[in-house]
Amino acid sequence: MTSPAAFAGLAALMGDPARAAMLQALLSGEALTAGELARAAGIGAPAASAHLARLVEGGLVLVHPQGRHRYHRLAGEEVAAAIEMLGGLATAVTPARRWPHGEEFRQARLCYDHLAGRLGVALYGALTGRDWIAPAAGGWQATEVGESGLAALGVDLAAARRARRFACDCMDWSERRAHLAGGLGREIAACCLRRHWLRRLPPLREGDPLARRRLALTPEGARQLDAALGVRLVA
Amino acid sequence: MTSPAAFAGLAALMGDPARAAMLQALLSGEALTAGELARAAGIGAPAASAHLARLVEGGLVLVHPQGRHRYHRLAGEEVAAAIEMLGGLATAVTPARRWPHGEEFRQARLCYDHLAGRLGVALYGALTGRDWIAPAAGGWQATEVGESGLAALGVDLAAARRARRFACDCMDWSERRAHLAGGLGREIAACCLRRHWLRRLPPLREGDPLARRRLALTPEGARQLDAALGVRLVA
DNA sequence: GCGACGCTTCGGCCCTGGGCGAAGGGATCA
DNA sequence: TGATCCCTTCGCCCAGGGCCGAAGCGTCGC
C-alpha cells in the first residue's frame, strides 16, 4: 500500500479490456510474442505494442527480444497471484453465470507456473500435513523427509532452489485456501506434466483465453499422488 | 475468471484514483458515509456519489442508508483480500520508496475486519500448529481444544459462527503467507481490540488513507498471546 | 542484397468518463 | 412548518487515452 495513486495506477493498468486479455493469456506462464498477444486481445499490432509498453513500464510484464520476435511474460509470481485473485473476485462478484469453463477448471489449472485448484490445495495440504515443508522466513523450506520424498517423485529440487523464492503461499481463489508457489511449486507442476500425471485440456472454443491453463489429472497421476502423498482426487 | 471482460471491468472499477482512495479508506472495515469518502478521495460530493454508485453496482461496496446518511462498506472479505493484495503488488512493483508508513504497518494492521501483518501470520501459524483449527470444506473449522482455547481468550465463537464463513485463508501481501479471515478472524481482531491487546496507532499525517488500519500490540497483548499461543512479537 | 516479416513510432480521430455547479429529494431538528 | 443538512440527479465541459493507417526500423530467409 504505498500511495493510493500507485494502487490506482496498477489497477488501471489491468483494467483495460485489451490489457486484461493479454494478462489472462500470460497467466499460463508461457512467454508469448507481441503478435500472439495482439491476437489474444483482438486488437491490431500498433495498439498491442502500446499496451505492452505500458505493461512493461508498469512492472507487470517482462520482455526479452529474440531475433525479430519479442517474447513477453508476467513479471513474477506475485503478479500472477494478483491477477488470479482478481479474476476470482470477478467471478464471485459478477452475478452472471459463473463457470463458463466448467467445474473442471476448478479441479486443476495452472496459476502462472504452478498448480492451482483443488489439486493445488490438496498438494499443499499434503506437503504441510506430512511435514515435507516447514515454515521459514517469507515462505517455506523443505524438511529432510520432504527432500527425499520430493526427489523420489522426480521433482528437481536444485532447479527449485535457483528460484528467487523456494516456496511460498499463493491464494487459490476457487478454493479460498493457499496453494504452493515459488520454485518448488513450479517444479512440482513441471514434474507432473513431464511424467504425464497431468495433461493439458483442449480449449473449449476458438480463442479461449484460458485454454493454456486448463489441466486434468491422469489416472496414473492420481495413483502416484495418492501413493506418495495421500492426495485423493478423481482423475 | 469468467470472461476477461469481467476481470477488466473489475480492475477498471478499482483503477480510478478517487475510487481507489475510497476503497483504501474502506479497508479498515468501518462503514463510512458518502461525505467522508468524498473527503478521503479529495473530490466533491457529486463525483463521490457517482463513484459510489458504480462501486455498489459493481458489487464491491454495500450501502445501508441510515436517516440522511448513507453508510458504505466493502462487500466482503474477498473484496478486501483482493484490494489488500493489489496494494501489496503496487508496493512490490513500484520502484519508489516502499514504506511510507514505516515498518510498523508491516507488523500489525487491519485487513478489512481481521488481523494482518506479522501478527496475523504468527497467529495463523499458532492456530494451525497447535491444531486449534483443522481444514474443512472451503476453509477451517475449530477443533475441540481450539474451541476451549479460543473461548478462554475471550473470542466470541458464536458470533464467529454466524458469519458466512467461519474461517478461511487470506493472503498477507507483506509476509507472503496466509493469515486468518472469516468470522473467526474478525472475532479474534475484535477480541484483541476490546481487551486492549491491540491499540490503534495515530495517523502519520493529515488525511492518511491508511490511518484507520494501523495497529500495534500492547505489552499486555504480547504477554497474553505468548502465554496462550506461543506468539512472540515485540509490543 | 532484396523481399518478407515482426514490431514500433507517428499522426490523427473519436469517445468514454471524470469533474464541477446548480437544482432537487428526503431526513432531522427546532 | 421551515431551516438545515446529506446526498443525488442533471447538464455541461474537457482531457485522457484507445484505436487505426501509414511509415520506419531491425531481423530473417532465399
Model ipTM?
0.84
**Nearest protein residue by Cα to C1' of nucleotide D17:** A16
In a domain, A93, yes or no: no
State whether A166 and A212 are in the same domain: yes
Domain that holds residue A206: 101-229
Burial A50-85 (b: 16+ CB within 10 A, else e): ebbeebeebbbbeeeeeeeebbbbbbbbbbbbbbbb
Q: Would you state the pLDDT for residue B92?
A: 81
Q: Would you state the pLDDT for residue B100?
A: 54
The predicted-structure confidence for B48-64, as pLDDT tens digits, reads as follows 999 999 999 999 999 98
**End of a domain among B17, B40, B75?**
B75
Name the residue in chain B with its Cα closest to that of A21.
Answer: B4
**Residue B82 to chain A, least CA–CA distance (Å):** 6
The predicted-structure confidence for B125-166, as pLDDT tens digits, reads as follows 999 889 999 877 768 899 999 999 999 999 999 999 999 889
Torsion of CA B21, B22, B25, B31, to 10 degrees: 180
In a domain, B235, yes or no: no
Q: Would you state the pLDDT for residue A100?
A: 54
Q: Would you state the pLDDT for residue A101?
A: 59
pLDDT surpassing 70 at residue A53: yes
State whether B95 and B163 are in the same domain: yes
Residue showing cell 471491468 = B9
State whether A119 and A191 are in the same domain: yes
In a domain, B43, yes or no: yes
Do A2 and B100 make contact, defined as CB atoms within 8 angstroms? yes
Which amino acid would we find at residue B186? R
- Mean per-residue pLDDT for A12-32? 93
Measured CA to CA, the distance from residue A114 to residue B1 in angstroms comes to: 17
Residues with CB under 7 A from strand D: A 16-18, 43-44, 46-47, 50-51, 54, 66-68; B 33-35, 38, 45-46, 48-50, 52-53, 63, 68-70
- Mean per-residue pLDDT for A1-19? 87
- Mean per-residue pLDDT for A190-197? 96
The predicted-structure confidence for A70-105, as pLDDT tens digits, reads as follows 999 999 888 999 999 998 888 887 755 555 556 778
**Residue A192 to chain B, least CA–CA distance (Å):** 24
B65/D26 CA-to-C1' distance in Å: 62
User: Which of A156, A58, A4, A226 is closest to B93 using CA atoms?
Assistant: A58
State whether A220 and A133 are in the same domain: yes
- Mutate which: A89, A103, A175, vs B, most B CBs within 10 A: A89
Hey, is the C-beta of B89 within 8 angstroms of any chain A C-beta?
A: yes
In a domain, A173, yes or no: yes
Measured CA to CA, the distance from residue B153 to residue B192 in angstroms comes to: 9
Hey, is the C-beta of A117 within 8 angstroms of any chain B C-beta?
A: no
Hey, is the C-beta of A14 within 8 angstroms of any chain B C-beta?
A: yes
DSSP readout, chain A?
---HHHHHHHHHHHHSHHHHHHHHHHTTS--EEHHHHHHHHT--HHHHHHHHHHHHHTTSEEEEEETTEEEEEES-HHHHHHHHHHHHHHHHH--S-S-TT-THHHHSEEETTEEESHHHHHHHHHHHHTTSEEEETTEEEE-HHHHHHHHHHT--HHHHHHSSSS-EEEEETTTTEEEEEHHHHHHHHHHHHHTTSEEEPPPSSTT-TTGGGBEEE-HHHHHHHHHHH------
B16/D9 CA-to-C1' distance in Å: 22
Name the residue in chain A with its Cα closest to that of B17.
Answer: A8
Average pLDDT score, chain B? 88
A115/D28 CA-to-C1' distance in Å: 37
Cell of residue A114, nine digits: 504452478
Hey, is the C-beta of A53 within 8 angstroms of any chain B C-beta?
A: no
Hey, is the C-beta of A59 within 8 angstroms of any chain B C-beta?
A: yes
Q: Would you state the pLDDT for residue A5?
A: 81
The predicted-structure confidence for B165-193, as pLDDT tens digits, reads as follows 899 888 888 887 889 999 999 999 999 99
Q: Would you state the pLDDT for residue A99?
A: 55
pLDDT > 90 fraction of chain A, expressed in percent and rounded = 63
Name the residue in chain A with its Cα closest to that of B22.
Answer: A4
More confident residue, B51 or B202: B51
State whether A27 and A121 are in the same domain: no
The CATH number given to whatever domain includes residue B44 is 1.10.10.10
Q: Would you state the pLDDT for residue B103?
A: 72
Measured CA to CA, the distance from residue B208 to residue A46 in angstroms comes to: 40
State whether B124 and B218 are in the same domain: yes
Q: Would you state the pLDDT for residue A135?
A: 79
Q: How far is CA A43 from CA A7, A49, A50, A51, in A?
A: 26, 10, 11, 10
B14/D1 CA-to-C1' distance in Å: 45
**End of a domain among B75, B110, B130?**
B75
pLDDT surpassing 90 at residue B78: no
- Mean per-residue pLDDT for A194-207? 84
State whether A64 and A110 are in the same domain: no
**How does residue A122 score in pLDDT terms, banded at 50, 70 and 90?**
very high
State whether B105 and B189 are in the same domain: yes
SS3 B235: coil
pLDDT > 70 fraction of chain A, expressed in percent and rounded = 91
State whether B115 and B204 are in the same domain: yes
**Domains held by chain A: number:** 2
**Residue B212 to chain A, least CA–CA distance (Å):** 13
SS3 B210: coil
State whether B70 and B83 are in the same domain: no
**Residue A196 to chain B, least CA–CA distance (Å):** 26
Name the residue in chain B with its Cα closest to that of A210.
Answer: B1
In a domain, B234, yes or no: no
Q: Would you state the pLDDT for residue A204?
A: 72
**How does residue B4 score in pLDDT terms, banded at 50, 70 and 90?**
confident
pLDDT surpassing 80 at residue B101: no
